[in-house]
Amino acid sequence: MDQRQGILENLEMTLFADIYRGKRVLITGHTGFKGSWLTLWLSELGAQVTGIALAPATTPSHWQLLELPVDDAPLDITDAASLAAELQKTQPEVVFHLAAQPLVRRSYRDPLETWSTNVIGTANLLEACRHCTSVKAIVVITTDKCYENREWEWGYRETDRLGGHDPYSASKAAAELVVGSYRQAFFAKAGAPLLASARAGNVIGGGDWSEDRLIPDIVRAVSEKTVLKIRSPGATRPWQHVLESLSGYLLLGQKLLEEQQEFAQAWNFGPEADGNRTVEDVLIRLQKAWPAISWSVAGGELPHEANLLHLDSAKAKSRLGWCPVWPLEQTLTATAQWYRSYVENSAVISAAQLRAYIDAANAAGLAWTR
């Protein structure tokens, strides 16, 4: 706990126009990988954060390691009545919806859980927000996999067709349709909350221990002194650090809280072209920062996953003034350093990495640091 106290104090910059200071913020899925990093950042920004989520699904858990002093409501977003009651109790001004079943292979094992959580859960939240007069802004987080994948060599834009082969991707596309429906049917009138959705790439960084994800799997292999068997080494993904996507979400939330209605739509937050790399290339680069990493290619039949997937973030760059901060090499170095610090020294360096990221963004002159 002590290592993070005051990490953003004495900054010679104002982040996100200081709009989150004192704001009542609700985060669903705050115990997850992205959610725990977002909770850390918002806590440092002076927000009054409430989290809604199930208990952490992994041990260790980034959320538990951070020991953040925020209100914690352990409930399932598929429980509509309890969710609505929690919103009425906490009266949030801005909502970040990250709670989800986020794993492709798990969606094959339990498609009904995936559809229920990702679609009905999203509808439950938006319905609860519709009846909570304090809510002014809502940012729903989906995924780059919400697009109908055509194995294009160029990036998908926000206007491209939604769809999905696996239950996870399809459920996230459906969640986007739920968002669009609520925006037009219920949130179009004056005084209604402004609602946006955000689609990021393959987010990596310290503190993720999810099953069937490349970085957590390689960390477990290193810890157990085994060789990781990887699937689809030639698959290309838009890799980016978790803080890149979160800076986009926070900037989007700022615009909505400022009542700028033109930002109530869908947004991509992906890496620069350098971030579009194969699985094997990422492992080779990670190994430079952590030589203990080793792998081999798995054989046998595997569930279908997209082979080529890129995002086009031109709209976010031109209209929001958002831009990635860390190139892929820095992203992978920071990720390896986080896990090495934890595995070898039991140190949690999340707050220090957040400060380093903000300093880099300020040096680059990004709009949200001024």
* Interval 180-209 mean pLDDT: 95
The full set of domain ranges for the chain reads 2-204+240-271+304-327+350-369
Q: What pLDDT was estimated at residue 298?
A: 77
Q: Which is higher by pLDDT, 237 or 344?
A: 344
Instruction: Specify the pairing of strand 48-53 against strand 24-28.
Output: parallel
Q: Does the pLDDT value for residue 271 go beyond 60?
A: yes
Instruction: Specify the pairing of strand 228-230 against strand 202-204.
Output: unpaired
* Interval 120-146 mean pLDDT: 97
SS3 126: helix
Q: Which is higher by pLDDT, 127 or 229?
A: 127
**Terminal-residue alpha carbon distance, the chain:** 28
Sequential DSSP letters for 148-159: -----SSPBPTT
Q: Which is higher by pLDDT, 121 or 298?
A: 121
Q: Is 168 a catalytic residue?
A: yes
- pLDDT of 9-54, one tens digit each? 666 678 999 999 999 999 999 999 999 999 999 999 999 999 999 9
2-204+240-271+304-327+350-369, what's its fold?
Rossmann fold (3.40.50)
- State the average pLDDT for the chain: 92
CB 24 within 8 A of CB 95: no
Spatial CB neighbours of 152, under 8 Å, sequence gap ≥ 6: 308, 310
Token match 């069937």: residue?
Answer: 212
The share of the chain scoring above pLDDT 70, in percent, equals 94
Q: Which of 87-96, 259-268, 277-286 has the lowest mean pLDDT?
A: 277-286
The pTM assigned to this predicted structure is 0.94
Alpha carbon 75 to chain centroid distance? 20
- pLDDT of 67-89, one tens digit each? 999 999 999 999 999 999 999 99
Q: Using pLDDT thresholds of 50, 70 and 90, give the confidence band for residue 207.
A: very high
Angle at CA of residue 158, ends 155 and 164, nearest 5°: 75
Q: Using pLDDT thresholds of 50, 70 and 90, give the confidence band for residue 233.
A: confident
| Candidate list 20, 156, 168, 182, residue with the active-site label | 168
* Interval 301-307 mean pLDDT: 56
SS3 218: helix
